Amino acid sequence: MNLREVTCLAWLRTLVEAYDVYSDLAGVDKNGQAVLLPISHSTFNAQIEVTIDQEGDFQGARKLEKGSDVVTIIPVTEDSAARSSGIAPHPLCDKLCYIAGDYTLYTGDNKESYFEAYMEQLQDWAESGYTHPMVQAIYKYVEKKSLIQDLVRSKALELDEDGRLTDQTKIHGLGQTGANIRFIVWGSSMPQEVWKNRELYKKYSEYYQQKSGEKKLCYTSGEIESCSDKHPSKIRNSGDKAKLISGNDESGFTYRGRFTSKEQAVSVGYDASQKAHNALRWLIQKQGYTRDESTIVCWMVNRDMQLPDMMKDSINACNDIDDFDFDFDMIGSDETLSLNKHDTGKYFAEKFNNAINGYVGRFEMDDKVAIIALDAATTGRLAIVYYDEIGGKQYADAIINWQKHCKWRRTVRVEKSEEGKKTVTCECTPSPRDMVLAAFGTQRSEWLEADSKLIRGTVKRLLPCITREGVQIPPDLIKAAARRASMPQSMSDYVWYNDVLCVVCAMIRFNYEKGDRTMENFLNDNIKNRNVLFGRLLAVYDYMEQRAMFEYDENGKVKERRTTNAKRYWNAYSSRPAKTFKTIKQNLVAYEKKLNNFELTKFEEWTSEIMSHFEKNEFDNRTLSEMYLPGYYQQMEYMKKTFEKKEQ
């Protein structure tokens, strides 16, 4: 978000509130989970780890393995956190050129000013009232100017044949002259990693905040306090350089003649900026949705409570909730199968809905939920493309409404099951991404794929449908998905049926079900609707050919599966239904002879019954609306159940 675009800082206030709620977790590492950064701290990826004792004597060093625990929490200043060029040292752990007093000796590159700036800053902290024994030990060591010599002796760095340190040798794919260094300080009993010491975090935060700069009006708190014009990056990940707030364009473009300085646009307190950015970074790592170059995160603002993930299908939405009262391992178990031989999906859905309703009962009246979506406007700028705050009960009701009315029977993979391989077939709500792929996806390999820009732009349009009552799924999105469903030959049968047809039917259902109008009575309520009637006719002729054409083995599986005439002419049928219906009917004459008397009688009954409901002049070639798809699906399911009962 560029400063010229700032209209409201509600998101900043909400993130500050969230940081205060979770402040006791700042700097706490729990089983490798995301760590909420303390104020005045950031992270970098370390390549070399140096161990010293409390007297500042070198004890050893090692190169860190790529992919191991290399992410390191480090103290930073405003300048060092935002540095891209110039001299701006971090206060403790930093690059080799800042920390090594013998850098120029071994490289020939004069970096004395870098080392001097680092030492001056570290000395000021080490001699202040906010010092710490580990800070003093590191200061004693680096002032010896022997870091590279020690690292070479420990084989953490390598010199060339001329005794020079060069970038021909790589560490984690980077030249060794630019390696990031972190420290371990041996205490009285055990080593202490400086990047994990919470007392050290607190000491530095207090030290840096007392070195306050100019006081101004903070637009977030409304108080006169120390403000910052250099705001953190690394919001989405440790390599992310994009910023939410920036004002570094001095060429006249940023302010467009409306302001003479960036401070006139907005000013944000240093404390508020640190809390807000650290909270957002932590929430994204902890529970954010990051895919297709977009980031979306939803969280409980006022207390620590996990929320269902609205970016996943309803089956997987509660996977990460620790105390969600549902046993995902029971899916497909022998016990489940024995309880419901005919419909394990229904049994699963009932148990899952009970768990959802039980969880929602824990929401309180004063709970507040926030949703924020980020997109990279440029490589250096982040944009907030969606932001909303709603009450906790309102959010819970919205999620239940979404999962109740935007659902369809389909097969989904259960992520929480062993290796994520278990699947279940039941009524569930597709994820927003599933909906976008149903509308715009193209099958490559086994799955649907689409342009990432198109996906993230359309997902953003779906967010209000989930969180706001009365907001319908955009009709153009449903029409696009219906067009894709009208081309079954462009994808495999499974992808077409499960990932397109069932998904678009769920979308139609969400917009259709209002008041007493439900999808359970869809065929009866639309008994005269020409779109629904044409969809039902298509199902009759599609299933008729399937029954006549497919041969089954002794296990009940189809020996050979060929494309039916209904599938072949589907796209033409959706555009010119009356004309194409006659073509399909003529092509099925030979197949009718393969049907037994009961089958033939039932198909003729269904055809006659459907045809009798067409109004005068309604059996024509006008293009069908998307409503023909649930008509097709429900007629097909009704016919299958009829034959199953007969066969049983």
What letter represents residue 534's amino acid? F
Domain boundaries, the chain: 34-211, 301-514, 522-647
Tell me the C-alpha distance between 531 and 447, whole Å.
30
Residue partners of 76: CB distance under 8 A and separation at least 6: 40, 41, 42, 90, 91
Write out pLDDT tens, residues 586-595: 998 888 888 8
What is the DSSP secondary structure assignment for residue 386, as one 8-state letter?
E
Tell me the C-alpha distance between 323 and 400, whole Å.
18
What pLDDT was estimated at residue 3?
A: 39
What letter represents residue 172's amino acid? H
What letter represents residue 56's amino acid? G
What pLDDT was estimated at residue 420?
A: 59
Of 89-93, 309-313, 329-333, the range with the highest mean pLDDT is: 89-93
Residue partners of 461: CB distance under 8 A and separation at least 6: 474, 477
* pLDDT band, very low/low/confident/very high, at 230 (cuts 50, 70, 90): confident
Tell me the C-alpha distance between 285 and 34, whole Å.
6
Tell me the C-alpha distance between 144 and 149, whole Å.
11
Q: Find out whether 183 and 50 touch, Cβ atoms under 8 Å.
A: yes
Tell me the C-alpha distance between 185 and 52, whole Å.
5
Residue 600's φ and ψ, nearest 5 degrees, are -60, -40
* pLDDT band, very low/low/confident/very high, at 414 (cuts 50, 70, 90): confident
What letter represents residue 539's amino acid? A
CA distances from 103 to 112, 432, 606, 641 (A): 8, 53, 87, 79
Q: What is the pTM assigned to this prediction?
A: 0.85
Tell me the C-alpha distance between 65 and 405, whole Å.
50
- What is the pLDDT of the chain when averaged over all its residues? 87
Closest by CA position to 154, among listed 263, 49, 47: 49
Tell me the C-alpha distance between 255 and 341, whole Å.
68
Q: Residues 110-113: contacts with CB within 8 Å, 24+ apart?
A: 113/87
Residue 230's φ and ψ, nearest 5 degrees, are -125, 105
* pLDDT over threshold 60, residue 367: yes
Do β-strands 71-75 and 41-45 pair in parallel, antiparallel, or remain unpaired? antiparallel
What pLDDT was estimated at residue 260?
A: 66
What pLDDT was estimated at residue 172?
A: 87
Rounded mean pLDDT, 158-167: 91
Tell me the C-alpha distance between 348 and 334, whole Å.
13
